[in-house]
Amino acid sequence: MQAQTLRVGEKATLRKAFFRSGHGVIYGGMVSDSVYSLVFTFSFSHQAMAFNLYFPESQRDLTYQDWRITILDVRPDYISLKVDKAR
């Protein structure tokens, strides 16, 4: 997948599935000079959940379910990331 740039509050869809379900990631911004936040979302029909995770700026490789997320650049107002299927 190509690199995506998300501003604070923007969502990237990781997977869309049947009947209005899917997974996504939202950039939550930087909570300090060295910590950034990603919000992972899951929805199915009329039900949804989200959880906010905090990462040190030095952490550039993440795994969420069957996705590998590589952080290319992180700034207070945007994040550049690349999402690939984990093998």
Q: pLDDT by residue (tens digit) across 11-61?
A: 988 766 555 568 889 999 999 999 999 999 988 878 889 999 999 999 999
Give CA–CA dist 34/68, Å, rounded: 22
d(CA 2, CA 29): 21
- Assess whether pLDDT exceeds 80 at residue 1: no
> Which DSSP string corresponds to the chain?
---EEEETT-EEEEEEETTTEEEEEEEEEEEETTEEEEEEEEEETTEEEEEEEEEETT--EEEETTEEEEEEEE-SSEEEEEEEE--
- One-letter amino acid at 30 equals M
Contact indicator for 67, 1 with CB cutoff of 8 Å: no
Give the domain extent around 73: 4-85
Name the domain count of the chain: 1
pLDDT the model gives residue 19: 58
